Amino acid sequence: MKTRNLAFIGGGNMASAMINGLIEDGTDPAHILVAEPDESRREQLAARFGVRTLNDNEEAARQADIIVLAVKPQALKEVATSLAPALAQNRPLCLSIAAGIRLASLQSWLGATVPVIRVMPNTPAMLGAGASGLYAPPDIGDELRDQAEHIMRATGIAVWLDEESQMDALTAVSGSGPAYFFLFMEAMENSARKLGLEEKTAHLLVLQTALGAARMALESASELAELRNSVTSPGGTTEKALEIFTQGGLTELVDKALSAARDRSIELSESLGKEQ
């Protein structure tokens, strides 16, 4: 992709993860600008990455070909409306990583002529192992889509969604998903300690088992059910454990949990996107 000036509005953890991925992917830090109100945070970003930093969102917007809106959803309306005059001049591509803020609201705040793409990353992006979903309206062309995908692939995988409403489902699956696995690993670790394993041993065994299972699933052409069956000997220990999970309604519980997360994402979208 042709080198372009990229401005992050907000310099928090997700912005830091994206910057790190982009630099490791070959982006020149001189072409990355971060607008961040916290002076100490600006100093940290400049020292760690060699990027340019400043305390002026509008000035960052005027210098950028691509803007990443990386502020909290609750603050996005104020930030976006203040940027609108600067964006109207050069109409840079805007990527919003704010959960729950729909395109209609973003276009209203940023200006109808500004190209906007919604992005939903997750926290493993900080390790280059993220999973991001992207949605662009039909009038966004291939060149801008390629630019957005290039940025997000620097932190992991990136998938395009066909409908904006799918963002709520993606939020429930990959956006919130790391916490589900942390909870399950925490429960396994606690059980392992109750079974007599030392704390450090239980911790390492659970984490490595989770990593190994994920890698097997990623690197195998087999379906998840087939992989599960390959570990489950008839009448063995694994089968017994899986029986307990089934009797406890694990599948139904996961359905309820993800549906609740999806519904909450919809509620937040309606609340945060109100134009008052």
Mean pLDDT, rounded, for 100-125 = 93
14 plus 127 within the same structural domain = yes
86 plus 157 within the same structural domain = yes
H runs (alpha helix) in 139-176: 142-153, 166-170
What's the pLDDT at 2? 55
158 plus 185 within the same structural domain = no
Among 100, 54, 109, CA closest to 82 = 109
The answer on pLDDT for 195 being more than 90 is yes
Is-contact 185 193, C-beta < 8 A?
no
Among 167, 166, 168, 148, CA closest to 158 = 148
Residue 187 belongs to a domain with what CATH number?
1.10.3730.10
| Domain-located, residue 207 | yes
216 plus 105 within the same structural domain = no
pLDDT exceeding 90 applies to what percent of the chain?
87
pLDDT exceeding 70 applies to what percent of the chain?
97
| Domain-located, residue 201 | yes
196 plus 230 within the same structural domain = yes
The answer on pLDDT for 109 being more than 60 is yes
Q: Which among 139, 165, 191 is the end of a domain?
A: 165
Instruction: Identify the band that residue 3 occupies on the pLDDT scale cut at 50, 70 and 90.
Output: low
| Domain-located, residue 275 | no
What's the pLDDT at 11? 95
13 plus 129 within the same structural domain = yes
Total structural domains within the chain: 2
DSSP 125: G
Mean pLDDT, rounded, for 77-86 = 94
Q: Which among 134, 165, 196 is the end of a domain?
A: 165
Q: Alpha-carbon dihedral of residues 244, 248, 252, 258, nearest 10 degrees?
A: -90
| Domain-located, residue 250 | yes
181 plus 98 within the same structural domain = no
Is-contact 135 118, C-beta < 8 A?
yes
| pLDDT tens sequence across 133-157 | 999 999 999 999 999 999 999 999 9
The answer on pLDDT for 1 being more than 50 is no
Where residue 191 falls (left for φ over 0; alpha for ψ -120 to 50; beta otherwise) is alpha
16 plus 119 within the same structural domain = yes
What's the pLDDT at 89? 85
143 plus 264 within the same structural domain = no
What's the pLDDT at 36? 96
Helix-strand-coil split of the chain, %, nearest 5: 60, 15, 25
Q: What is the pTM of this model?
A: 0.88
| Domain-located, residue 171 | no
Residue 154 belongs to a domain with what CATH number?
3.40.50.720
| Domain-located, residue 192 | yes
| pLDDT tens sequence across 156-177 | 999 999 999 999 999 999 999 9
211 plus 238 within the same structural domain = yes
| Domain-located, residue 1 | no
Q: What gap in Å lies between CA 23 and CA 163, rounded to an integer?
A: 31
Q: Print the domain residue range for 189.
A: 177-268
Averaged pLDDT score across all residues of the chain = 94
| Domain-located, residue 200 | yes
110 plus 190 within the same structural domain = no
Q: Which among 132, 165, 198 is the end of a domain?
A: 165
43 plus 113 within the same structural domain = yes
